[in-house]
Structures are given as C-alpha cells and as structure tokens.
Structure 1
Amino acid sequence: MIECRTIKELCSVVVDCPHSTPTWTAEGKIVVRNNNIKNGRIDFSSPSYTDDEHYQQRIKRATPQGGDIIITREAPMGEVGMIPEGIVCCLGQRMVLLRANPDICDNYYLLYSLQSRYVQHQISWSEGTGTTVSNLRIPHLEQLKIPYLPLSKQRQVSSVLRCLEEKIKHNRVINDNLAA
C-alpha cells in the first residue's frame, strides 16, 4: 500500500475565499471565478475584475501567488487550476487557495494528484452536503488523502505529466490550425 498524506499535511496554506460577491468593475484586479477553472487550468481569456479596495479585502487571509492551486468548493465541486507566475488575482466565491509546502510537496504533483480518480472520488464523498448544491467543506478538503512519494519522485512524475500536457496543448493548436 502506498503512503498517503493529507492536504493539511502537504500544504503550508489552505485558505477559504471570502463568502461574499466581489464588487465587479470593467477593469482592475482579476477575480478568478468558478467558471474560469476547468480540466486543471485557469482560463483567463474572459476575466472578471474588481477594484483595488475590494481586491485588498479579498486577499486578507492570503495573497494568491504563482504556483498556488485553486480548488472549487461547489458549482462545480473539485475543479482545480494553478495560478501562473506574474498574474495578480484574487478568489471569487466558493473556492479555496492551496499552497504546497515546497519542502515536502511539488505543487504540480499536487495539482495532478487532485485531478486523479483517487482524489476526485474522495471529493465526491461531499456530494449532498449543501442545501441546494454539493459543497466541499474545508475540514473534508484538508483531510483528502494524496498518494505520497519522496519529493524527488514527485518532481519526476510532475515533469513527465507537464511534458505530456504541453504536447497535448501543442497538438490542439496544430489541429485548430489545420481545421481553419
């Protein structure tokens, strides 16, 4: 049996978003919303914005950084994406910021693990916990079990998966160009 560690053990930061709707503006600081996160990526092609004052309110618990992972708590539950380097953003509603502890966990390994069937099955145990929609609660999220490998092995695994992901992205661009 493979060793597992919990999200709480692997992350130096597990921060729930503010439970309020940001004030929307035509420009300003990017607000990552649930509909921006899908299939392990954050899509910034049609961003939402808030002003500096509301941005500051939304980052009081933690300022999102490049390499941090965002996981959706509901609508849909369990989607994840990683914040790219150089992006200044805050979280919308119904999401949690995860920051892997770099001494014991590779952030890409955590990202890919969160997308695995094993972890997504654990997330599905939260089905039916909300009054109208399912909700991944923080105590449950913190106890999700992630297969644990030594850090050097995590980096090897994530390196291979990142290469495969880049190849898939490149092939999609080629296919789109051929279709055009």
Structure 2
Amino acid sequence: MTIYCDESGGLNAGAMTFAAVMLTPEAAAQIHARFRAVTGLRGELKGSRISLTERAYLLELFDRAGGRAWVAVAKRARLQPPANGQPTSDLALYAALLDLAIGSWLPETGGVCSDVVIDDGRYDPKILENVREAIQTGLGGWGRASLADSRRSDGVQIADVVANSLYNVEVASPRARRIGIIIEPMLASRAIRVAELAQLP
C-alpha cells in the first residue's frame, strides 16, 4: 500500500487539513482514469476546482475501491500556541499535521511496508526535503518517503480532494453543508478518520 499526502488551507485561511490517503498505486490510477473518463476533466484534479457532484463521484469511487484516509486538522480558533511561546508558522503547522496524519497510520500497518508520497508543491524544495527526511526517519525500515509533483501523481490528486473536503467543513464554507453530507457515510464507516491537532509541539 501507498500513503498519498496533500494539504488544504492554512493559518490565514482559518484552518489547515492534511490528508494521508491509503491506496494501491493501481487503485489510485483506476479511480483517476474513471473520473476523467466520466467527467471529461482536463488538467490537474483539485478539490477547489471541481463541482459538488464531481466531488461526490470521486469520493464514491474512492470508497468503492476500499480507499481509506486519516485527515489531520487544525483550526486556528482552537489551536493552542507552541509551548515555547513562539509564533505559529504555516510550515510548522504543516509539518505537525503531516506527522500526526502519518503517525496515525503507522500502528495500523502491521509492519507491512508502506511508501509515503508527499506533494512537493507547497514549499521550497529544500524545506520539503527536510520534511521528507524526517518522515523517512519515522518510517525506518517500514517504507520509503518521497516527494511527487501532484500533476503526475494520481494518489496525491485524490488526497487533495479529501483534504479540501475536510477543509471546507472545518471553515464552514458555503459548500460545507453539502460536502458534509457527501463525506458523512465515509466518516461513519471510518473510511475517513479525523485527528485534530490541539497544540503545536
């Protein structure tokens, strides 16, 4: 299995969500291909760009394929500042959410090797390489952490939609109610699980 990662939002947007989606590469490719064939989508699949109906269809395909996700969330209004009193940075929040999401998966892998693929688009490549190395250290011999261009990764694009869905719910966007209805069965079945970050380390 592979864990595909992407985030949505940020401190200035009121909340950040980080999705760690578990799928085989084959399942991710099949979901993506079917979605594009039916919807006629061109360009990168982004949760912020698709309609509610398209979102529902993509997540239905994800659920049918046995996809699962941990989504780490942090809402600015509920997030406690770091214990050292330093201002909260967007990068520090990103790293903490990534660690929480991946850390939520590791006890469930049963020692089975899991690769972690992280979107490389949010920060400077050198910064993200440090993040990747930290995740690799945490994985140890269980798997390999790598960075990927989301435009070329089926799984990362699916993770983007999952992260964006939870982001909309967290910030109570105009689409939040409908998106909540879409994801409710997956939350109930625990296909999608949420872990809230209460305080930065």
TM-score > 0.5 by shorter chain: no
TM-score, scaled to structure 2: 0.25
Q: Which has the higher helix share?
A: 2
Greater C-alpha radius of gyration: 1
- With structure 1 as the length reference, what TM-score do the two structures score? 0.27
Q: RCO greater where, 1 or 2, for CA within 8 Å and sep 6 or more?
A: 2
